[in-house]
Structure 1
Amino acid sequence: MKALVLAGGKGTRLRPLTHTSAKQLVPVANKPVLFYGLEAIRDAGITEVGIVVGATGEEVRAAVGDGSDFGLAVTYLPQDAPLGLAHCVLIAREFLADDPFVMYLGDNFLVGGITGLVEAFGRGRYDAQILLTPVAEPQYYGVAELGPRGEIQALQEKPEHPRSNLAIVGVYTFSPAVHDAVRAIKPSARGELEITDAIQWLVDNGYGVHSHLVSGYWKDTGRLQDILECNRIVLEAIEPDIAGTIDALSETSGRVVVEAGAVVENSVLRGPLVIGADTKIVSSYVGPFTSIGRGCELRNAEIEYSIVLDGSSVDGVSRIAHSLIGRNVQVSRAAGVANTHELMVGDHSRIQVKV
């Protein structure tokens, strides 16, 4: 069995962060979301992986390499434009050959791995297997409509008026029959070849399509609140590990990870949290469910329930929460008139100021 991992796409809901970075490489607990998927694929016994890449392909290649760090053999499959998930299957035809495969969306986060899914697919000898989970806002996802016996009746891709609340999780398993399906369908109104249309074609033509509900935790990390929630879930399970330096004036509680080379001085750390390598925390408070990347610096700052990416600094700013701070960002207190905010904000940003 092979795996097809999708790591293209523009990540418009995470702009401006994704103007310069692949959305699949946004870190959760200081590890890119994409890496969790690759590890799940490896743990399921799959070693041959094709990664579909787009405009951020060079960054993905630099992060993943040839896959050997994960115990995988990786082949990169360029996609010139984001023409849909089914289009990814089309361009991967030579790599996939006539083998069954898992298709894994690289920005999806699935607790518990995919070993059970792969084993069930092998036992059932299905032509397609999809995972479903109830969601509060199904209009943002592919949606499945089931019949009275739980059979798949219809699939919709990001419908304006969803007919169910069952979202299709971004992990699928297919037999070679899907290659006929992706060649048979036409682009949707969005101008894309939808994988939901390909699965519907399999259903309509009598192929074996199986589905079941996800029992574990799943998120599509396309939005800020989803990334922060995934960060919380992972941090809740971390084991304390102090490889850096914490001075005697500092206080720690809960599950705290301080990576090698990090220095904490006169500060309070309330876990669960992780402080990246070579980061410096001085006279600051870092609260629960926070991940601070590598080479960062916090001075006289307060932050909780947030993610700070590599190389950024926060100086003299209190009570940052529910935030995602990108790479090499400087956040500081403005001098001058009290209650005045000085901002330099890029396109498609979102700023919330308490007054």
Structure 2
Amino acid sequence: MKGLVLAGGSGSRLRPITHTSAKQLVPVANRPVLFYGLESIAQAGITEVGIVVGDTAAEIKQAVGDGSRFGLDVTYIQQERPLGLAHGVLVAREFLGDDDFAMYLGDNFIVDGIKPFVDEFRRNRADAQILLTRVLDPGAFGVAELDLAGEVVGLEEKPEFPKSDLALVGVYFFTPVIHEAVRQLRPSARGELEITEAIQWLIDSGRSIRSSEITGYWKDTGNVADMLEVNRQVLEGIEPAIEGVVDESSEIIGRVVVGKGTVVENCRIIGPAVVGSDCHVRDAYIGPFTSVADGCRIVGSEIEFSIVLEGSSLENVGRVQSSLIGRRAKVTSSRSVPNSNRLVLGDHSSVQIQV
């Protein structure tokens, strides 16, 4: 059984962060979200993995390498444009051969991993197995319709009028028959080859489709709110580790990680929180559910329930919360008169200013 990881999407909902970075590499608790998926695949006993990449191929290849750090043998598969999940299967045809495979969307996060579902698929070996979870906004996802016996009878991608609240989680299991299904597809109204339509073709052809409902934690980390929530979830499980220098006037409360080379002076840090390596934190407050990446500088500021990416700085800016701050960003105070805000923002930025 092989693994197929889709990491070719553009990440439009995470702009401007993803203008310069792959969405699958945005960190959760200071580790790219893609890494959690690769570890989950390895823990399920799958070792041969194809990663479908697009415009950010070089960055993903540099981060993942040959996959050996995860216990995987990785092959990269170039996708010229992100034309849908089924198109990812189409371009991976040569790599997949006639093997069964698990398809994992690279920006998805499942806290308990996928091993139980891989084991179930191997035992029962339906033509396709899908994972479902109940959501409040099913119209934002692929949606499954089940009959009274719990059998899958229909699938629809982002329907205007959902027939259930059961959304498809971004992990699928297929036998080689899926290749016949994707060859039948034509682009949808969204201009994509929809995996839901391919599975519907299997249903209409009398193939066996099984579903399993996830009751644990799952997120599609496609937007800032979901990234922050996944970050919170992961930080809940960290173990404290102080490897940097924390002076006597600082207070560390709860599960806090401070990386090597980091200096903490006259600060209060309340966990769960992670501060990376080679950071300088002075006269600051870092609150729960905050991840600060390597090489950051936080001075005279407060931050909580946020993600700060590599090399960024916050200096004398008061309180920041529920925020995602990109790489090498600078957030500073202004002492100009009259009282005003000076902003330099990229396309698709979102800023909230207290008035």
SS of the aligned residue for 1:173 comes to: strand
CA distance in 2, matches of 1:264, 1:158: 47
> Displacement, 1:215?
1.8
Instruction: Say if 2:347 is the partner of 1:350.
Output: no
Instruction: Say if 2:266 is the partner of 1:266.
Output: yes
CA distance in 1, matches of 2:249, 2:346: 38
SS of the aligned residue for 1:298 comes to: strand
Alignment of 1:45-64 (within 5 A): 45-64=45-64
CA distance in 2, matches of 1:337, 1:147: 66
Alignment of 1:278-317 (within 5 A): 278-317=278-317
CA distance in 2, matches of 1:339, 1:165: 48
SS of the aligned residue for 2:164 comes to: coil
SS of the aligned residue for 1:320 comes to: strand
- Residue 336 of structure 2 is matched in structure 1 by 336
Q: Deviations over 1:105-150 (max 9, x none)?
A: 0000001111101000011121110000011111221111111111
> Displacement, 1:338?
5.5
- Residue 240 of structure 2 is matched in structure 1 by 240
- Residue 169 of structure 1 is matched in structure 2 by 169
Q: Deviations over 1:314-347 (max 9, x none)?
A: 0001110000000000000012126411111111
User: What TM-score does the superposition give when structure 1 sets the normalisation length?
Assistant: 0.99
CA distance in 2, matches of 1:144, 1:168: 7
CA distance in 2, matches of 1:79, 1:284: 45
- Residue 210 of structure 1 is matched in structure 2 by 210
SS of the aligned residue for 1:319 comes to: strand
- Residue 39 of structure 2 is matched in structure 1 by 39
Q: Which runs of 5+ in 1 are unaligned?
A: none
SS of the aligned residue for 2:207 comes to: coil
SS of the aligned residue for 1:252 comes to: strand
- Residue 318 of structure 1 is matched in structure 2 by 318
CA distance in 1, matches of 2:34, 2:338: 43
CA distance in 2, matches of 1:50, 1:338: 56
- Residue 135 of structure 1 is matched in structure 2 by 135
SS of the aligned residue for 1:302 comes to: strand
> Displacement, 1:182?
0.5
User: What TM-score does the superposition give when structure 2 sets the normalisation length?
Assistant: 0.99
> Displacement, 1:69?
1.2
Greater shift in the superposed pair: 144-153 or 199-208: 144-153
> Displacement, 1:73?
0.6
CA distance in 1, matches of 2:136, 2:279: 38
Q: Which runs of 5+ in 2 are unaligned?
A: none
Instruction: Say if 2:200 is the partner of 1:191.
Output: no
CA distance in 2, matches of 1:182, 1:59: 29
SS of the aligned residue for 2:170 comes to: strand
- Residue 126 of structure 1 is matched in structure 2 by 126
> Displacement, 1:160?
2.3
Q: CA RMSD in A?
A: 0.8
SS of the aligned residue for 2:77 comes to: strand
CA distance in 2, matches of 1:349, 1:54: 23
> Displacement, 1:43?
0.5
CA distance in 2, matches of 1:200, 1:140: 18
- Residue 249 of structure 2 is matched in structure 1 by 249
In structure 2, give the amino acid aligned to 1:260: K
SS of the aligned residue for 2:219 comes to: strand
> Displacement, 1:208?
0.9
SS of the aligned residue for 1:316 comes to: strand
SS of the aligned residue for 1:51 comes to: strand
Alignment of 1:95-110 (within 5 A): 95-110=95-110
CA distance in 2, matches of 1:320, 1:106: 29
